[in-house]
Chain A
Amino acid sequence: MTSMQKLYLLIPLAPLAGSAIAGLFGWLIGRRASHWVTILGVAVSFFASLMVFRDVLDGNGFNGAVYTWLTSGETRFEVGFLIDRLSATMMMVVTFVSLMVHVYTIGYMQDDPGYSRFFSYISLFTFSMLMLVMSNNFVQLFFGWEAVGLVSYLLIGFWYTRPTAIYANLKAFLVNRVGDFGFLLGIGLVLAYFGTLDYAAVFAQAPMLAGHAIELIGGSPWSLMTVICILLFVGAMGKSAQFPLHVWLPDSMEGPTPISALIHAATMVTAGIFMVARMSPLYELSDTALSFVMVIGAITALFMGFLGMIQNDIKRVVAYSTLSQLGYMTVALGASAYSVAIFHLMTHAFFKALLFLAAGSVIIGMHHDQDIRNMGGLRKYMPITWITSLVGSLALIGTPFLSGFYSKDSIIEAVGLSHLPGSGFAYFAVVAGVFVTAFYSFRMYFLVFHGEERFGHPVDSHDHEGGKEDDEHGHGHHGKPHESPWVVTLPLVMLAIPSLVIGYLAIGPMLFGDYFGGAIYVAERHGAMEELAHEFHGAAAMALHALTTLPFWLALGGVAVSWFFYMKRPDIPAMLKERFALFYAVLERKYGFDDFNDWFFAGGARFLGRGLWKGGDVAVIDGVLVNGTARLVGRIAQVVRHFQSGYLYHYAFAMLVGVIVLMTWFV
Chain B
Amino acid sequence: MEGTPLLSLVIWLPIVAGVLVLATGGDRNAPYARLVALIGAVAGLVVALPLYTAFDPMNAGMQFVERKPWIEMFNVHYYVGVDGISMLFLLLNSFTTVLVVIAGWKVIEKKVAQYMAAFLFMSGLMNGVFAALDGVLFYVFWEAMLIPMFLIIGVWGGPNRVYASIKFFLYTLLGSLLMLVAFIYLYNKSGGSFSIQDYYGLPLTMTEQVLIFLAFFTAFAVKVPMWPVHTWLPDAHVEAPTGGSVVLAAIMLKIGAYGFLRFSLPITPDASHHLAGFMIALSLIAVVYIGLVALVQADMKKLIAYSSISHMGFVTLGIFLFNAFGMEGALVQMISHGFISGALFLCVGVLYDRMHSRQIADYGGVVNRMPKFAAFFMLFAMANSGLPATSGFVGEFMVIMGTIKVNFWYAFLAASTLIFGAAYTLWMFKRVVFGAVANEEVEKLEDVSVREFLVLAVLAVAVLAMGLYPLPFTEVMHASVNNLLHHVAQSKLY
Contacts and interface: CB of A to CB of B under 8 A. Distances in A.
Contacts of A125: none
Chain A binding surface, main DSSP class: helix
A463 interface: no
A170 B378 CA distance: 13
Nearest to B302: A613
B337 to A, nearest CB: 17
Contacts, number: 136
Most chain A beta-carbon neighbours within 10 Å: one of B400, B408, B427: B408
A628 to B, nearest CB: 12
Interface residues of A, number: 51
Contacts of A613: 293, 296-297
Interface string B221-251: 0000000100110000000000000000000
Interface string B187-217: 0000000000000000000000000000000
A254 interface: no
A192 B474 contact: no
A487 interface: no
B131 to A, nearest CB: 25
Given A150-B387, A173-B426, A174-B426, A609 B295 contact: yes
Contacts of A456: none
Interface string A395-429: 00000000000000000000000000000000000
A150 B382 contact: yes
- Residue among A72, A143, A161, A612 with most chain B CB within 10 A: A72
A177 B388 CA distance: 12
B396 to A, nearest CB: 9
B162 to A, nearest CB: 13
Contact of A185 (B231, B385, B411): B411
Given A609-B296, A626-B231, A185 B388 contact: no
Interface in B446-472: 468-471
A369 interface: no
A346 B474 CA distance: 41
Interface stretch (A4-12, A62-70, A442-450): A62-70
Contacts of B389: 143, 147
A71 B471 contact: yes
A441 to B, nearest CB: 34
Interface string B397-429: 110110111001101100110111011001100
B292 interface: yes
B365 interface: yes
A527 interface: no
Interface stretch (B33-41, B260-268, B430-438): B430-438
A151 to B, nearest CB: 11
Contacts of B403: 188
B232 to A, nearest CB: 8
A616 B306 CA distance: 14
B225 to A, nearest CB: 11
A71 B478 contact: yes
Contacts of A178: 419
A173 to B, nearest CB: 6
Contacts of B289: 612, 616
B377 to A, nearest CB: 13
B386 to A, nearest CB: 9
Interface string A594-614: 000000000001101110110
B394 interface: yes
B415 A185 contact: yes
B136 interface: no
B358 interface: no
Nearest to A604: B292
A284 interface: no
Contact of A170 (B400, B426, B471): B426
Contacts of A170: 426-427, 430
A256 to B, nearest CB: 16
B426 A192 contact: no
Given A72-B325, A166-B435, A146 B411 contact: no
Contacts of A174: 419, 422-423, 426
B365 A72 contact: no
B328 interface: yes
Nearest to B365: A161
Given A143-B388, A146-B387, A160-B435, A181 B418 contact: yes
B108 interface: no
A470 interface: no
Contacts of B478: 71-72
Contact of B404 (A69, A181, A185): A185
A147 B419 CA distance: 16
B435 A189 contact: no
B293 A617 contact: yes
Pick from A67, A153, A192 the residue with the most CB of B within 10 Å.
A192
Interface in A584-634: 605-606, 608-610, 612-613, 616-617, 621-622, 625-626, 630
Contact of B329 (A67, A72, A157): A72
A160 B416 contact: no
Given A185-B412, A609-B292, A157 B419 contact: no
B422 to A, nearest CB: 5
Tell me if B's interface is mostly helix, strand, loop or mixed. Answer: helix
Interface residues of B, number: 61
B490 to A, nearest CB: 18
B401 A188 contact: yes
Contacts of A73: 323-325, 328
A184 interface: yes
Nearest to B293: A613
Interface in B126-175: 167, 170-171
Contacts of B400: 184-185, 188
Interface in A153-177: 153-154, 157, 160-161, 163, 166, 170, 173-174, 177
Nearest to B412: A185
B428 to A, nearest CB: 11
Contact of A70 (B171, B382, B470): B470
Contacts of B294: 609
A214 interface: yes
Nearest to A68: B471
A75 B475 CA distance: 13
B401 A191 contact: yes
A166 B408 contact: no
B376 to A, nearest CB: 12
A565 interface: no
Contact of A214 (B167, B408, B412): B408
Contacts of A626: 167, 171, 231-232
Contact of B296 (A139, A153, A188, A610): A610
B367 A160 contact: yes
B368 interface: yes
A617 B231 contact: yes
Interface string A438-471: 0000000000000000000000000000000000
A610 B382 CA distance: 24
A216 interface: yes
Contact of B418 (A68, A154, A177, A605): A177
Contacts of A622: 231
Contacts of B167: 626
B471 A70 contact: yes
B328 to A, nearest CB: 5
A142 interface: yes
12 contacts: A71-B475, A72-B325, A139-B397, A161-B365, A161-B435, A181-B419, A185-B400, A185-B404, A188-B404, A191-B401, A610-B296, A613-B293
Q: Which 5 A-B pairs have the closest CB atoms?
A: A73-B324, A188-B404, A609-B292, A143-B388, A609-B296
Given A67-B469, A616-B228, 5 more contacts: A72-B324, A72-B325, A174-B423, A606-B296, A616-B289
Interface of B: 167, 170-171, 228, 231-232, 289, 292-297, 323-325, 328-329, 365, 367-368, 378, 382, 385, 387-389, 393-394, 397-398, 400-401, 403-405, 408-409, 411-412, 415-416, 418-420, 422-423, 426-427, 430, 433-436, 468-471, 474-475, 478
